[in-house]
Amino acid sequence: MKEITKSIDGPETRAIVDRLYEVGRLVFFFATILKCTFSRPFYFMRLVDQVRALGLGSLSITVVIGLTMGLVMTLNFGYGLVKFGGVLYVPAVVSLSLAREMAPIFTSLLVAGRIGSGMAAEIGSMNVTQQVDAIRALGTNPIRILVVPRFWSAVISLPLLTSLSCFLGILGGMIVCQNEFGMPAGFYINKVLDTVKIHDFLSGLVKSGIFGAIIAIVGCWRGLSTVGGTRGVGESTTWVVVTSSIAILITDFFISKIFLLIWGH
């Protein structure tokens, strides 16, 4: 009986309880964001500023990752399928992979490294310099003024960036198919349109919206929890990038499974 009690009170059990407690705090944090969203005041201009900073500021890396994905995937799939006479299936494979998985995943991971760490660093710096306490002293909820605009800007911006990334990836695939395999552009476009259905594209947009919410929740929550001066800010940014990336990869599996159950294979 003593051994059982000791195992329950052991460090492993306490670590699990601490993790569950953090998950509970994140869920409560998300509920608070929704509550502040649908109550007054709502700082719309702050939302516009954040969309401009997060969305437009991420255009360059989105263009790079979109074109790179299309070029590399088409090159590898093409030379892999040419051995079996299956080059005609390259547009279908590349476009479907980009729409469903590759564009949402890679765009979200790169954007998490940019805006997730930026949210944690900015809000964390405000927290350690007591600017967040000053907002509370003025009678304003810091979640309403700092978190809500960043949350919705990430949810709005990431699907748009994913759409751009997917389009550029398909365009890059067309360039490779034309130059490497002699495939006409019209045939490539027809194969893409015949393969990618509206629900394939929508699944990628829904995924990227959820990933944007994860990035914003993790980044802002960690920023508001930052302590320890500049060292704490650095630790928070690293933690946010790692945690949000892992959360995105795990969440992607479950969302993909749900979509396969809804729309079939």
Token code pair at residue 110: 């790169």
Tell me, what's the pLDDT at 264? 64
Tokens for 45, please give them. 């201009």
Neighbours of 228 (CB within 10 A): 12
**CA torsion angle 18 22 23 24 (round to 10):** 100
pLDDT > 70 fraction of the chain, expressed in percent and rounded: 94
Q: Of 136, 116, 106, nearest to 223 (Cα)?
A: 116
Rounded CA-CA distance 215/217 in Å is 6
H helices present in 129-147, as ranges: 131-137, 142
For the cut 50, the answer to whether the pLDDT of residue 4 exceeds it is no
Lowest-pLDDT choice from 10-14, 71-75, 85-89, 219-223: 10-14
pLDDT exceeding 90 applies to what percent of the chain? 21
pTM of the complete model beyond 0.75? yes
For the segment 149-155, the average pLDDT, to the nearest whole number, is: 92
Q: Using one digit for the tens of pLDDT, what is the confidence trace for 80-139?
A: 877 777 788 888 888 988 998 889 999 999 888 888 888 888 888 888 888 888 888 887
Distance of alpha carbon 185 from alpha carbon 175, whole angstroms: 8
- Over range 232-257, report the average pLDDT: 89
Mean pLDDT of 232-241: 86
The number of beta carbons lying within 10 Å of the beta carbon of residue 160 is 18
Q: CB count, 10 Å around CB of 223?
A: 29
Q: What does the domain layout of the chain look like in residue ranges?
A: 40-263
> Is the pLDDT confidence value at 150 over 60?
yes
Reply yes or no on whether the pLDDT at 159 is more than 90. yes
CA gap 78, 85 in Å, rounded: 10
Residue whose token pair is 């690293």: 238
Residue 5 pLDDT more than 50?
Answer: no
Q: What is the mean pLDDT of residues 172-201?
A: 87
pLDDT digits 0-9 by tens, 18-62: 777 777 788 888 888 888 888 888 888 888 888 888 888 888 889
Q: How does pLDDT run across 128-146, given as a tens digit for each residue?
A: 888 888 888 887 888 888 8
Helix (H) or strand (E) holding 247: helix 229-263
Mean pLDDT of 215-225: 89
Structure tokens at 255: 């969302």
Percent helix, strand, coil in the chain (nearest 5)? 90, 0, 10
Question: 48-56: which pairs have CB atoms within 8 A and are 24 or more residues apart?
Answer: 49/149, 50/149, 50/150, 50/152, 50/153, 51/153, 51/156, 51/157, 53/153, 54/111, 54/115, 54/118, 54/150, 54/153, 54/154, 54/157, 55/153, 55/156, 55/157, 55/160, 55/161
